[in-house]
Amino acid sequence: MAPMATRRPPNGQAPEPPLRVESREELVYLLGEACELEHGLLCEYLYAQFSLKRSVAEGVTSEQLARIKAWETTLIDVVKQEMLHLALATNILTAIGAAPHFERPNFPILSRWYPPDVQIALVPFGERALRHFMYLERPEGMALEDAEGFAALGKMHPLRNDDLQLTAGPEEWHTVGHLYRGIEAGLVHLVDRHGEAGVFIGPLKAQATTQVFEWPQLTAVTDLASASLAIEVIVEQGEGARGDWVNSHFGKFVGILEDFLAERAADPSFEPARPVVPVYLREPPDVEAITLIEDALTRRVADLFNAVYEVILQLQSRYFVHEGETPQEIETLAKTVKHLMNWVMRSLGPVLTSLPVGPQFPGRTAGPAFEIVRPAFFVLPHREAAWKILRERLATLSGVAAELADAPGLGALKALSGNLDGFARDLGGHLDARAAQASAIVTPT
Question: For residue 154, what pLDDT is reported?
Answer: 62
pTM beyond 0.95: the answer is no
**Residue 6 within any structural domain of the chain:** no
**Residue 171 within any structural domain of the chain:** yes
**Residue 302 within any structural domain of the chain:** yes
**Residue 95 within any structural domain of the chain:** yes
CA distances from 409 to 34, 54, 297, 342, 352 (A): 39, 14, 11, 21, 11
One domain, residues 183 and 285: no
Integer Cα distance of 184 and 423 in angstroms: 38
Sign of the four-CA dihedral 222, 223, 227, 228: negative
Summarize pLDDT for 165-210 with one digit per residue, the tens.
788 888 889 889 999 999 999 999 999 999 999 999 999 999 998 8
Percent of the chain with pLDDT over 70: 92
From 274, 289, 309, the end of a domain falls on: 274
Residue 328: Cβ within 10 Å count: 10
Q: Where are the alpha helices (DSSP H) in 96-175?
A: 127-137
HSE-up of 105 (CA within 13 Å, CB side)? Answer: 18
| DSSP summary character for residue 114 | S
Integer Cα distance of 224 and 228 in angstroms: 6
One domain, residues 318 and 270: no
Integer Cα distance of 405 and 422 in angstroms: 17
Structural domain including 315 reads: 277-445
**Residue 1 within any structural domain of the chain:** no
Q: Where are the alpha helices (DSSP H) in 239-295?
A: 249-266
Range of lowest pLDDT (18-22, 110-114, 391-395) = 110-114
How far separated are the first and last CA of the chain, in Å rounded?
67
One domain, residues 348 and 266: no
Question: For residue 1, what pLDDT is reported?
Answer: 33
3-state DSSP assignment of residue 33? helix
Integer Cα distance of 393 and 310 in angstroms: 10
From 245, 274, 303, the end of a domain falls on: 274
253 within 8 A of 137, measured Cβ to Cβ: yes
Number of domains the chain is built from: 2
One domain, residues 338 and 415: yes
One domain, residues 385 and 294: yes
Q: Look at residues 374, 346, 23 and name the one whose alpha carbon lies nearest to residue 165.
A: 23
One domain, residues 225 and 95: yes
CATH of residue 183: 1.20.1260.10
Summarize pLDDT for 311-342 with one digit per residue, the tens.
999 999 999 999 999 999 999 999 999 999 99
**Residue 5 within any structural domain of the chain:** no
One domain, residues 116 and 132: yes
- The helix (run of H) or strand (run of E) holding residue 326 is none
Summarize pLDDT for 246-288 with one digit per residue, the tens.
889 999 999 999 999 999 999 999 999 999 999 999 999 888 8
164 within 8 A of 407, measured Cβ to Cβ: no
- The helix (run of H) or strand (run of E) holding residue 375 is none
Integer Cα distance of 227 and 79 in angstroms: 22
CATH of residue 308: 1.20.1260
3-state DSSP assignment of residue 153? coil
From 225, 251, 274, the end of a domain falls on: 274
One domain, residues 176 and 55: yes
Q: Look at residues 54, 46, 124 and name the one whose alpha carbon lies nearest to residue 86.
A: 46
Summarize pLDDT for 215-251 with one digit per residue, the tens.
889 999 999 999 999 999 999 999 876 567 888 999 9
Query: Angle at which helices 383-404 and 296-320 pack, to 10 degrees?
Result: 160
One domain, residues 254 and 281: no
Is the pLDDT score of 6 beyond 50?
no
Integer Cα distance of 241 and 52 in angstroms: 30
**Residue 103 within any structural domain of the chain:** yes
One domain, residues 203 and 287: no
One domain, residues 54 and 138: yes
One domain, residues 378 and 427: yes
